[in-house]
A and B are shown apart, each in its own frame.
Chain A
Amino acid sequence: MPTVHRSVVYDWLRHDKKFPHVWCPGCGLGILLGSLVRALAEGGYDKNQVVLVSGIGCSGRLPVYVDVGSVHTTHGRALTFATGIKLAKPALKVIVVMGDGDATAIGGNHLIHAARRNLDLTAIIVNNLTYGMTGGQYSPTTPLGAKATTAPYGHSEPSFDISALTVTAGASFVARSTVYHVTQLDQMLGQAIKKKGFGVVEVLSPCHTNYGRQNRLGSQLEMMKGYKKQAVRMERWDKLSPAEREGRFAVGVLADREYPTFLETYQGAVERALAARREG
């Protein structure tokens, strides 16, 4: 019998959802989508036990293409819906896709509390340094001095380091990669999805349509090459001087630790409640 080769894409993407996708040609979200389904296939997950949740923005449109339960929620609130889903059905693998504005501006409060609570969720935060869907306004990760449609004279605020923020807030697993470093991205998504507790993967992804154009960063290809030049592996990053770190960023795993998860600690409360009832 001939071997039938079924690709990961065929297995994991919806057949009844029309392509092409909504993103601009050259956008990194398509690469992330590929990386995500490879990580899911590699992890051997059951499609019926995976739920993808997203907020609003370009990244919010990602789950609809994947053949799993998908929930496209309100702006910034994806983690709150995901929290309800996970608590309702702890066996489900709940993965949340958000953008930088989505996760750290309007949803910033939910992000730090989800990390602190350490519920088993995977948060993929696509960081393109801008609000892409609304036309390139500045976000919490837009660098100081950069141009945006709401910062025509240069941005006046410093930016968030999403990974450092979630490490501090208490996430079990935090990693950063880019859509250029696809092999690494596949691995990190796999690790984060597998990890017990709250896992974060910050994914740098170019928005040449808005951020790149306004800041004269060239084509999508040139922006991707920029990631290649600027990204430094975590092991090397630690040895760099502040001057050497200028204009560069670290990729790799920032935190991988065993903290009690919400479901574990809540189970303790359930047992104490039941014991109290028995004692009457």
Chain B
Amino acid sequence: MAAESSKTAGKGAGKTASRSGRKGQARLLQGNEAASLGALAAGCNFFAGYPITPASEITEFMSRELPARGDPFIQMEDEIASIGACVGASLAGRKAMTATSGPGFSLMQENLGYACIAETPLVVVNVMRGGPSTGLPTNVAQGDVQQARWGTHGDHPAIVFCPSSVSECFELMVRAFNMAERFRNPVIFLADEMVAHLREKVALPAEGDLEVIDRRRPTVPPDWYVPYKTDGSLIPRLADLGEGYRYHVTGLVHDERGFPTRRADEVEPFYARLFDKVSRHFDELMLTKEYSLDDAEIVLIAYGCTARSCRAAVRLGRERGLKLGLLQLLTLWPFPRQAVERALAGRRAALVPELNMGQISREVKRVNDGRTQVIRHSKMDGTMITPEEILGRMREVA
């Protein structure tokens, strides 16, 4: 049996929960539970949500935990209200989260755009199920990958993480909060139903072992505070409402003081900064894992539950003499272009298995630029892609 080598790429990627976990802290957890625990470990102290399968376990978990910490939990009248409450709470200084699935995620797009333009940190969990509309509840699917990028109207930066194991649910949730606070942008935690409902043994890290990032707050006196003026990081400092910094927040394009503007010489730099604050720091966001990739002739590129099938396919394929490797994407957006380019270079072919009609394979083809042959493997029947299915496609390639 071929030994499976694994590498994790991305700044800070080595700081994973399983590695820093203490002995005796291993627990059997469901993906949604691990994500909830990750949120609490990252400092989540506000939750507003609306029931929907397969995300309800997170809402229920928070309804048990937050009151016991004296923090607010509220079940709102719909998903629009849930994310609205999260934006409000975040502006008042809380670390806020909401959790939903496809239909609710569609409703959240409006205020997700608000969070982007008003640069409000928050985390939105979307546990994907079959869509569109009520779709295929609540079978597994990965159909919201492009919606997570482009769902709200207007051009905007997007940060999206996708776990493929229960321990990654914990680790990526901590990271989701950290990046939301760091970049003052909503972060989408895009799980699929299979990973969210999966139970695995997880070693949780001790609290001190976790890196927890808080938003930068103003240090100047209120009279000097210019809410959207930035330094070289391009990320402005965020004052909590009710702390003496009486400023204006709006969903309109605004000037440095936060007041609406339509002046071209203010609008253009506004949009430029909104994108640059993320693109200048891509290295902090791009998370990928490699399995047996160094000598691979054929590369699999996958994420979420599909990456699990791919790992099995790599192992089985190598037992049968097929030199397979896997690039697992943990960051879906911004698209980890450099890692994908490296994974494609010099291979005979690349296969992109996913539970949709090719939402990531399209991106892989876009960055491929003639390096190799990229093959899409789509499945939309409400079940997972099996390792044997992947190996079946390999015979075509080989």
Contacts and interface: CB of A to CB of B under 8 A. Distances in A.
A71 B258 CA distance: 10
A87 B74 contact: yes
B243 A48 contact: yes
- Judged by DSSP, the binding face of A is helix
Most A C-beta atoms less than 10 A away, residue of B68, B83, B243 = B68
Interface in A78-93: 79-89, 91-92
Contacts of A72: 248-252
A42 B84 CA distance: 31
B73 to A, nearest CB: 8
A83 B76 contact: yes
Contacts of B88: 53, 71, 80-86, 88
B307 interface: no
Contacts, number: 144
Interface stretch (A60-68, A180-188, A221-229, A244-252): A60-68
B141 interface: no
Interface stretch (B20-28, B92-100, B321-329, B380-388): B92-100
Contact of B93 (A89, A270, A273, A276): A89
B77 interface: yes
B85 A84 contact: yes
A69 B70 CA distance: 25
A77 B243 CA distance: 24
B100 to A, nearest CB: 14
A228 B377 CA distance: 72
A85 B114 contact: no
Interface string B73-90: 010111011111111111
Nearest to A51: B241
B275 interface: no
29 contacts: A17-B259, A51-B242, A69-B241, A69-B246, A69-B247, A70-B248, A71-B249, A73-B114, A74-B111, A77-B111, A80-B81, A80-B82, A81-B88, A81-B91, A84-B88, A85-B89, A87-B72, A87-B74, A87-B85, A88-B72, A88-B90, A88-B96, A89-B240, A92-B241, A92-B242, A110-B84, A266-B67, A276-B68, A277-B68
